Amino acid sequence: MKNIVLFGPPGVGKGTQANFLRDLYQLIHISTGDVFRYNIKNNTALGILAKSYMDNGDLVPDEVTINMLEAEVDKNSNANGFIFDGFPRTTSQATALDAFLNAKNAPIKAMIALEVPQEILVERLVNRGLTSDRPDDQNEEKIRHRFNEYKTKTAVLIDYYTKQNKFHSVNGVGSLEEITKRLQKVLDAL
């Protein structure tokens, strides 16, 4: 089973690349952002709660995210593996994910970080905000706040996975095909 964490700041292309990898390796793609947006659109209790945090550019609390993720994994118990996109975002989430997956004898094989300079990401998100319904992409101040949240709360996961010899950095600048080939090289070596 290939369980991977696809990692990087907002706008780096995790969702796009996860879709390619999902098809190439027959993996289940779990995007916490997509699950949150679905719940927000449908005004579920989780969606209303998640929206209150996301509207401010803050991270959704761990316990909400972890419970949701475990339910998604359990719904797909026969999967070849999972691509976790947008999760974990904190050390406590990573520890909870490890405990959950290790109990299923299906540990994380790798954390792959897509690396793109911040100014390119701001431009990508502002452009995405022009055509999407995502309010978190339509305000540059909120975008920069999200990057600050990423740097202060999420980037510490690089150390967490490096200590486990599971961290891989991939250049996220270039054509979609070039980036996918770089990711494939890492996945094929696992």
pLDDT digits (tens, 9 = 90+) for 62-71: 877 887 788 8
**Quick check: is 124 catalytic?**
no
Active-site choice (124, 128, 144, 153): 128
> Half-sphere exposure (CA, 13 Å, Cβ side) for 48?
3
**Quick check: is 14 catalytic?**
yes
* pLDDT for the residue numbered 110: 97
Active-site choice (14, 37, 51, 182): 14
Active-site choice (22, 109, 124, 134): 134
**Quick check: is 144 catalytic?**
no
pLDDT digits (tens, 9 = 90+) for 104-145: 999 999 999 999 998 898 888 888 878 887 777 778 888 888
The Cα 59–Cα 39 span in angstroms is 16
Which domains, ranges and CATH numbers included, belong to the chain? 3-181 (3.40.50.300)
Q: Indicate the pTM of the whole model.
A: 0.82
**Quick check: is 104 catalytic?**
no
The Cα 185–Cα 190 span in angstroms is 9
**Quick check: is 37 catalytic?**
no
- Three-state DSSP at 167 gives strand
